[in-house]
Amino acid sequence: MYEMDLLDNTEDVNRLLARYGVKFGIYKNNTFKEQLFPFDAIPRVIQKEEFDYLERGLKQRVMALNIFLDDIYHDKKIVRDQVIPEDFIFASSGYMPACEGVTPVKRIYAHISGIDLVKGKDGEWYILEDNLRVPSGASYPMIARELCRRSSPKTFRDNQLEDNRNYAQLLRRAMDTVNVEGHTVILTPGRYNAAYFEHSYLAEKTGAHLVNGSELTVENDRLFYVDYKGKKERVGAVYRRISDEYLDPMHFNPESVIGIPHIFDAYRKGNVALLNAPGNGIADDKGIYYFVPKMIRYYLGEEPVLSNAPTYLPFYEEDMAYVLAHFDSLVLKDVAEAGGYGVVFGSSMTKAQKADFIALLQREPRRFIAQEVIDFQDLEIQDAGSVVERKADLRAFVLMADEPQVWKSGLTRFSRSPDSFIVNSSQGGGFKDTWVLSH
Amino acid sequence: MGIISLEQTNRLYWLGRYSERVYTTIRLYSKCYDDMIDDIGDNYADFCRMLEIPNIYRDKEDFNQRYGFDETDPNSILSNLMRAYDNAVVLREEIGSETLSYIQLAIYAINKAKISRAPLLELQNVEDNILAFWGIADDFIESETIRNIIRTGKRVERIDLYARLKLGVKELKSELRRMHTRLVSSGMSYNKVCLDSLIALIEHIDETAEVDYAGIVKNVENLVLV
């Protein structure tokens, strides 16, 4: 369905991506390095009907997660009704006591959600992970699409695709929906953050102002941007790309030098919107993931459209017994880790490693989840002049304005190693554009 | 959004200064390199003295390699280009991806020159990308304030370098006029005493008179308050 020039020009597209600084940062041996994010021009193609189905499931999931966050920081009905054990809430590192009773503008918590999915060889889509804190990745397919249209105009003339370059408008709408009064800014920890390219690119494309903590100040529980003549301009919405713990040294990590003192006070009083809301970490905790289908039924009274990967919680005796009996066929994930770290396959451990791991699992059952290894579909990629198949996932983005809207594209990440299921850029993976057909 | 912070002002100003430093020092370096082909003394020692950079080089071959391309030498052309990049990369939404991309291209070009058998030829590509950067900055950046801040940095650096190199009052007069207009329009804070001194030292002297280059360097270095 694509012209060969799309593939033939891959190197030129990658050259242009390098020119525009499409990179991610990585620390190796305590040294910061910028790496290019390899792009493969063979797209992931999703038919309209299939995406309609994904869209329904993604909206449903994010709606439920948003209600869950509101419930957890207010009434806690889901705990009282014993749908989720309290151990999974209050012991989670993502739960923030400071957010108790705090209601964000329009009760929106998950303004930008990145939901990771894979398509199994059985043709089913499975949710692997919910990212409701600061999910990144939308900028890469956006800019790749722009360049691929130049690389192969006929391909894009002959195919009816959803245009994914509208991500900036969707994001801007999400920011404007909750802006209380004043400017909209994107708060970055700085250029040594892994996703700095994305911060700056989205600022350019949304027309928001890219700022760091030192450029903002709080006075009388209101947030201001200080210009170069010392004039203070009110800020009404902050799309923050820094973690909760670094957001405000007066409330969270006192050693944070990238946060803004008292910004949490301004937020708590409704004088500024923070996207995403602080405290969202509880909703994308890998332990909570297990309960998302239950929360969809509980809050929405609906059956989940999209399935989780079959998951076990060693916290439950029955699940622990299953995990120990099927250890070699499972993948185990440390709930506190992200970015492809803390993921081990039972089958890849030596006897000694397995014994040590099981001892750890029995000591800290809350710390891990176990999942069946989904045999997910391979996608074609170009490798040294030939086409080979590699594992790939999809990060879909849901943006919440007055209602959730699913971006009709997504970041498809692939493993460059034939034996690996790990697709993260930090682990050497590459990316593809995701085409959603419009007819 | 139309507002810029003090930190961004500082970065825009230094982006202008470092990009100019790269451009002018490449041209000087090429000239110096050329002179050394004919073994006209140790020109690099004079070059270092004029620019007030430490002469850490063993010999002219060492200078040719390290001054151009050694990232660990803080005075090398490559280091100055990396500083231009450090400032530019955090200004994407102010200057635009297109403008920024020419600094990135200059880095690719200098790294190519570093391993080239004909580095002086390859350095032409660095110059070209810096020129394109200025051109697109003027064309693409909507905010006049931002353009003026970058251009002020560029002109300040040029006056500084030209004075150190004792290039003559005619060139300095031209640069001072262009810088003066930009500085006033940029809205940046500046030292009025230094500006008046520069005008006295450059504008009001006869082209045949002796020029106080050291005084010009001192005043231009302290002119902008960022």
Neighbour-count burial for B103-128, b at 16+ CB within 10 Å, e otherwise: bbbbbebbbebbeeeebeebbebbbe
Query: Is residue A218 a contact partner of residue A224, using CB atoms and an 8 Å limit?
Result: yes
The pLDDT value recorded for residue A339 is: 64
Reference A34, options B131, B116, B107, B17; nearest CA is B107
Residue B133 near residue B100, CB atoms below 8 Å = no
Among the listed residues A61, B152, A226, the one whose alpha carbon sits nearest the alpha carbon of residue B160: B152
Question: B153 with B72, same domain?
Answer: no
Counted residue by residue, chain A has a size of 439
Closest listed residue to residue A2, CA positions, set A411, A383, A392, A435: A435
For chain B, how many structural domains are there in total? 2
Q: In the predicted model, what is the mean pLDDT of residues B218-225?
A: 96
Band (pLDDT 50/70/90 cuts) for residue B41 is low
A322: exposed, middle or buried (Cβ count in 10 Å: 0-12, 13-18, 19+): middle
Residues of A in contact with B146 (CB under 8 A): none
CA distance A16 to A383: 19
Considering only CB atoms, which chain B residues are within 8 Å of A239?
Answer: none
Query: Given an 8 Å threshold on Cβ–Cβ distance, is A191 in contact with B96?
Result: no
- Please give the Cα distance from B193 to B198 (Å, whole number): 9
Alpha-carbon distance of A275 to A239, in angstroms, equals 5
B-chain residues near A213 (CB < 8 A): none
| Residue B134: CB atoms within 10 Å | 18
Q: Residue A367: name the closest of A343, A334, A337 by CA.
A: A334
Which chain A residue's Cα is nearest to B189? A229
Q: At what angle do helices A196-206 and A167-178 cross, to 10 degrees?
A: 80
Residues B211 and B187 in one domain: yes
B72/B174 same-domain check: no
What span, in angstroms and rounded, lies between the C-alpha atoms of A211 and B149?
19
Q: What share of chain B is helix, strand, coil (3-state, %, to 5)?
A: 75, 0, 25
Do B123 and B196 fall within a single domain?
no
Q: Are B3 and B82 found together in one domain?
A: yes
Put simply, the answer to whether B4 touches A227 (Cβ < 8 Å) is yes
pLDDT at res. B44 = 87
Closest CA to B151 of B107, B187, B109: B187
Chain A partners of B11 at a C-beta cutoff of 8 Å?
none
For chain A, the C-alpha Rg in angstroms (whole number) is: 22
Beta bridge partners of A129: A116
The C-alpha atoms of residue A323 and residue A311 are separated, in whole angstroms, by 10
CA distance B151 to B65: 30
Shortest CA gap A169–chain B (Å): 16
User: CA of A191, closest CA in chain B: separation in Å?
Assistant: 6
CB contact under 8 A, B92 and A203: yes
For chain B, the residue count is: 226
- Same domain? B121 vs B135: yes
Distance from CA of B195 to the nearest CA of A (A): 20
Nearest to B29 by CA among B59, B84, B66, B54: B66
Cut 0.80: pTM above it: yes
- Helices B60-69, B77-88: axis angle to 10 degrees equals 10
Residue A278 structure tokens? 């602080």
Give the torsion sign (CA, A118, A122, A124, A126).
Answer: negative
Residue with tokens 């309209």: A48
Inter-chain residue contact B7 with A212, CB threshold 8 Å: yes
Do B133 and B149 lie in one domain? The reply is: no
| pLDDT tens column, B114-151 | 999 889 889 999 999 999 999 999 999 999 999 999 99
CA distances from B137 to A67, B92, B130, B154 (A): 47, 12, 10, 12
Of B7, B96, B97, the CB nearest to A214: B7
Six token digits for residue A142: 């956006």
- Give me the average pLDDT of each 10-residue run along chain A (439 residues): 89 94 83 88 97 98 98 98 94 93 98 96 94 95 96 92 96 98 96 92 96 96 94 97 96 94 98 98 93 97 97 95 96 80 89 94 93 91 92 96 97 88 76 95
Which of these, B91, B101, B93, B84, lies nearest to B136 by C-alpha position?
Answer: B101
Q: Residue A200 is nearest to which of B5, B92, B105, comparing CB atoms? A: B92
Q: Which residues pair with A312 in a beta bridge?
A: A370
Give the residue with greater pLDDT, A60 vs B49.
A60
Identify the residue among B9, B97, B102, B129 best suited for mutation to test binding to A, counting A beta carbons within 10 A and taking the highest.
B97
Q: Are residues B133 and B150 in the same domain?
A: no
Q: Mark which of B142, B167, B186 sits at the end of a domain.
A: B142
- Does A171 contact chain B (CB < 8 Å)? no
Peptide bond connecting B125 to the previous residue in cis, omega within 30 degrees of 0: no
Task: Give the range of the structural domain holding residue B51, as residue numbers without chain letter.
Answer: 1-142
Q: B138 and B151 share a domain?
A: no
Looking at chain A, which residues constitute the CATH 3.30.1490.270 domain(s)?
311-372
Computed over every residue of chain B, the mean pLDDT equals 92
Residue B155 and residue B114 share a domain: no
DSSP category for residue A310? P
Mean pLDDT of B193-207: 90
Do A210 and B92 make contact, defined as CB atoms within 8 angstroms? yes
B110 and B180 inside one domain: no
Cβ–Cβ under 8 Å, residues B73 and B56: yes
Q: What's the pLDDT at B209? A: 79
- Distance, CA of A313 to chain centre: 22
Which A positions 13-72 lie with beta carbon below 8 A of chain B?
18-21
CA distances from B184 to A127, A231, A321, B225 (A): 58, 19, 76, 13
Question: Is B103's Cβ below 8 Å from some Cβ in A?
Answer: no
Pair (B138, B166) in one structural domain = no
**Is residue B109 within 8 Å of B68, Cβ to Cβ?**
no
| Residue at a domain's end among B111, B142, B173 | B142
Tell me if A21 and B93 make a contact (CB, 8 A cut-off).
no
Dihedral of CA atoms A353, A376, A68, A264 in degrees, nearest 10, equals 70
Whole-number Å distance between alpha carbons of B44 and A340: 52
pLDDT recorded at residue A89: 94
Residue whose tokens read 């500046």:
B190
The pLDDT assigned to A60 comes to: 98
| DSSP-derived 3-state class of residue A412 | strand
A215–B89 CB contact, under 8 Å: no
pLDDT for position B40:
63
User: In angstroms, what separates the C-alpha of B6 from chain A's closest C-alpha?
Assistant: 4
**Is the CATH number 3.30.1490.270 carried by domain A311-372?**
yes
Q: Which of A402, A399, A400, A428 shows the shortest CA–CA distance to A414?
A: A428
Cα distance between residue A266 and residue A247, in whole Å:
12
On the question of pLDDT at B1 being above 50, the answer is: no
